[in-house]
Chain A
Amino acid sequence: MDLITRVRDVFGVAHPLADPASFALFYQQTHAVVFRYVYMLHGSPKSDVEDYTAEAFARAWKQRHRFSGNDEAALGWIITIARRIVIDQQRRVSSAATHQLDQADLPSTPEQQALLRERQQLALELLNHVSLNQRDHLIMRYFLGWRVQTIAQHLGCSESSVSVSIHRALKILQNRYPTLAEELFHDA
């Protein structure tokens, strides 16, 4: 429990997400990040991703009085909820999701469409080649920008296991896509 939370508890101050306005702000700040996290972890279809994202916030809303911590912890908390939902869903569904972007989700201009579609589809395709845990670690490390130590603390595992998992995932992807860097940076 951090100092802010302890002070809050001592003085009976409401938790940061307790009131609707705070939660609305929290939602506005984080929903796009949570949506993308779920999208990369789960893959298409987008309608499922939106359902899981919505479910994550609905659960967070119901459990908001149990949460304590700062803004950073709040993001970690909602990511944990979203992660559990995705894992539960993937356990239920035996058939693997096809990690492709929905055609209808593309932006309007042809140039944007082409670039975004190519990059995003490639990201999803890449992630499809590693295990769910590795995928989760990669997303936390490179999309959320968390340090290995933060990921380990968040998931309740050792830093070395996270590092090894990320390293193995990178190796898998490097071997599968040996010219990725050249293609990506050459195109850019």
Chain B
Amino acid sequence: MTHNQLNDQVQPAAEQAISALLRDFGEHPSKEFHARHADAPWMQASAPKQRRPFGWRGMLMASLTLLLVTLWFAAPSGFVAALNEFFGLYRAPSDTVESATGPFLTPPTVATIAEAEALVGFDILTPAQLPPEIHGTQIMVDGEHPNMFAHINYLDAGDNSRVSLSAQYGPLYLQIGATAEVEVVQLGNASAEYFQGGFINKGTVAEWDSNYPNKTLRWQVGDISYMLSSVNLSKQELINFALSLQ
């Protein structure tokens, strides 16, 4: 009897190929499946998305909208990045998640920081000195007390967002891809989480791309959460921007 030793061993390349096939299995449930689960008891019992547009979930969706709008202005044409969830700072089980579905409402804008502060009920830290390329701001306020938030887009001469600042009373959470690299950086006395990348919308799914140039810095000052996000600034510039807030 001929003994084929090769067949007794699993070749690394074969294991890698099988592993890749299984790992990348990316089938998704149908729309009918999602529609069926919209009536699931846990979905009914939690805050409905559409019946209370400015409820807890509405606020989260609005946050997502803000980020989408920001990324849209900043990203090259046809290349949309989206952070998918704002339910907590957690890693998705994989780098592929379901795409966020609309409708996304643009939150109301206000004219001044003072006006925004009056609405959200807390003082918003702003940069002592704006970078020379910043020519204006777009300030939006949304949510419900006590968790209202302000979102400020710092715009260049072409009205594109160079960097955006979000401030919210209470935690401001977001989802990152399974392979996202999070770095803890020091902002004075505060610890901040920094990461680069974003979920790229690809039809019904969004895939995490760590090479996507959007950089995010997230930290907390007392009860107020802050988040800076930019595709234009470098990591150090983003940190410097955060350090200049007062």
Q: Which A residues are within 8 Å of any B CB, using their own CB?
A: 20-21, 23-25, 27-33, 35-36, 39-40, 46, 50, 53-54, 57-58, 61, 71, 75, 101, 105, 107-108, 112, 116, 119-120, 122-123, 126-127, 138-139, 142-143, 145, 167, 170-171, 173-175, 177, 180-182, 184-185
Contact = CB atoms under 8 A, between A and B. Distances in A.
Contacts of B22: 40, 123, 127, 138-139, 142-143
B14 interface: yes
B36 interface: yes
Contacts of B93: 29-30, 32-33, 75
Contacts of A112: 203
Size category, B interface: 35 or more
A170 B22 CA distance: 12
A170 B94 contact: no
Nearest to B32: A50
A137 B40 CA distance: 31
B9 to A, nearest CB: 8
B42 A27 contact: yes
A40 B19 CA distance: 13
Nearest to A29: B93
Given A142-B22, A170-B18, A35 B29 contact: yes
Interface string B86-123: 01101011101110000000000000000000000000
A173 B33 contact: no
A42 B26 CA distance: 15
Given A143-B25, A175-B7, A105 B14 contact: no
A120 B222 CA distance: 49
Interface in B131-181: none
Given A108-B203, A171-B8, A171-B10, A184 B17 contact: yes
A98 to B, nearest CB: 16
B17 A185 contact: yes
10 contacts: A23-B42, A29-B93, A54-B37, A57-B37, A61-B40, A126-B18, A142-B19, A174-B10, A180-B18, A184-B20
Nearest to A167: B10
Interface of B: 7-8, 10-11, 13-30, 32-33, 36-37, 40-47, 85, 87-88, 90, 92-94, 96-98, 203-204
Contact of A138 (B18, B42, B44, B87): B18
Contact of A142 (B23, B29, B30, B96): B23
A63 B1 CA distance: 55
Nearest to B88: A25
B25 A24 contact: no
Where chain A touches its partner, the secondary structure class is: helix
A32 B28 contact: yes
B26 A116 contact: yes
Given A24-B46, A75-B93, A171-B7, A123 B21 contact: yes
Contacts of A30: 93
Contact of A20 (B19, B29, B41): B41
B140 to A, nearest CB: 25
Contacts of A126: 18, 21
Contacts of A180: 14, 17-18
Given A25-B88, A58-B40, A185-B17, 12 more contacts: A21-B46, A23-B42, A27-B40, A28-B98, A30-B93, A54-B36, A61-B41, A61-B42, A119-B25, A145-B23, A173-B18, A181-B13
